[in-house]
Structure 1
């Protein structure tokens, strides 16, 4: 395993994803190469139809690329069968969704520890208590989702994503169902998990304010990587999004932050 693979939690090499065949074929990802370093918080942005959802599905092993490779901790997911992929996702990938995806009949603690049970792993009570404490749910572990606010439910989802100590957490519009104040609290919690736990988070979002909490913003357009931005502000992200189509065609080739228009690895 080379040193770059060790440094990267996730790496995509020339990933293409085509749906359909012949005249009906649609290219959702068109040769995307990106890497995500351990202990980093990255936002993925782009206009509707840019390939964000397909990117997340391929990077997380939920869908197989038509060509190219996806590496998790340096291991090529293309070598996994479906059973092995399912096991890998349970043990090494965390997910945070806009709709929380909590089981209503289970308590907060049961929802948080569910990935451990599904993976057949013995729960380490001290580690679980630490995660629960970090997300601020010490007094809510016996409650059920219906007894919690939206922000508290998302905190449960974050704890559930962190409890297995995953190589990477993928977040799909995690603040989309929250009010502005609660969204800010959730984003701070996600950023804290990166800085204090060394967690790697890749977040798909359409919100420039949410993206500003990340260390890096990756831009997709028409299924291609078109550049990135480090230490983003909401204003700069929003401005770039408004001209993304033209910028993707005309400027990404010489943007000093983009590394290369087709590469993006660093």
Structure 2
């Protein structure tokens, strides 16, 4: 695993921006419900890029939603940027997400009537903050869209729309950016460009990024891959390669029914 494990070990890292401790999530009642997370303990160190992977139904999206304050665990604790969030009201959670969390989704979630600049400014306006032009221009330049500032989403390619979503996530200078399959709707080349942008944000400004993905190539851009299976942590890899990730996922039975061609495409 390597010496970096000191910074990334669950719950022990003094500079973990996200900590899940014994998190359990049951949908429905405890007796007959579906157990999505079964005692997950996980720490995410500040300034790192983490990918979360697992078979379908492993709990990876639920873990991300609980970590981001989008869903409440049935039991256990979640600390986000040093604050215990499991007991917060909906209003407090909304404010915390606006101020300290950035989101990048598979479907981009841009407002079609707004320009690139207006979409990027939106989180600041929702938080009651006056957008600073230099700050907005800077994040738009960082994602390579300075010449598209006045375009609306319908006038942009899918990759460009996801770049806008990344700029929107970066503009509030959040403690952590969560991505739920952020490259799932993109072709391979565009996906690599988006992943490079996320990697650059970690390297250049110390941003913390956590993504859920099914793609070994996407996961290989991370510092660390955490695997879930049946709602529990099933291991991790540091400095991962696409081949090593694919091999681990195969061991977890993630692609037992997948065509071999699909698997080969994933590790090219």
Provide the TM-score with structure 1 as the length reference.
0.89
- Counterpart for residue 210 of structure 2: 202
1:103 matched residue in structure 2? 111
CA distance in 2, matches of 1:79, 1:13: 14
In the TM superposition, what are the counterparts of 1:170-181 in structure 2 within 5 Å? 170-181=178-189
Q: Is 1:5–1:11's contact at 8 Å kept on the other side of the alignment? A: no
The residue aligned with 2:48 is 40
Cα deviation, residue 79, structure 1? 3.0
Structural mapping, 1:130-209, within 5 Å: 130-209=138-217
Bigger Cα displacement from structure 2, 70-79 vs 208-217: 70-79
Unpaired runs of 5+ residues, structure 2, are 1-10, 255-268
2:233 to 225, 230, 233: 225
Q: Residue 28 and residue 137 in structure 1: after superposition, are their counterparts in 2 closer, same or farther (change >3 A)?
A: same
**In 2: Cα distance, 1:206 partner to 1:93 partner:** 22
- Does the aligned pair in 1 maintain the 2:12–2:43 contact within 8 Å? no
Q: 1:92 aligns with which of 94, 100, 113?
A: 100
Measured against aligned partners, the alpha-carbon deviations of 1:103-155 in whole angstroms (never above 9, x if no partner) come to: 00000000011000000012122221111110001010100000001100000
**How much does 1:5 deviate?**
6.5
Structure 2 distance, partners of 1:154, 1:76, is: 31
Please list every run of 5 or more consecutive structure 1 residues that lacks an aligned counterpart in the other structure: 247-266
Q: Residue in 2 aligned with 1:66?
A: 74
Q: CA deviation at 1:23?
A: 4.5
Cα 1:6–1:22 shift into 2, 3 Å: closer
What is the root-mean-square deviation in Å for CA atoms of aligned residues?
Answer: 1.4
1:171 deviation in Å? 0.1
* 1:187-218: CA deviation from partner (whole Å, max 9, x where unpaired): 00110000001100000000000000001000
**SS at the partner of 2:77?**
strand
SS at match of 1:78: coil
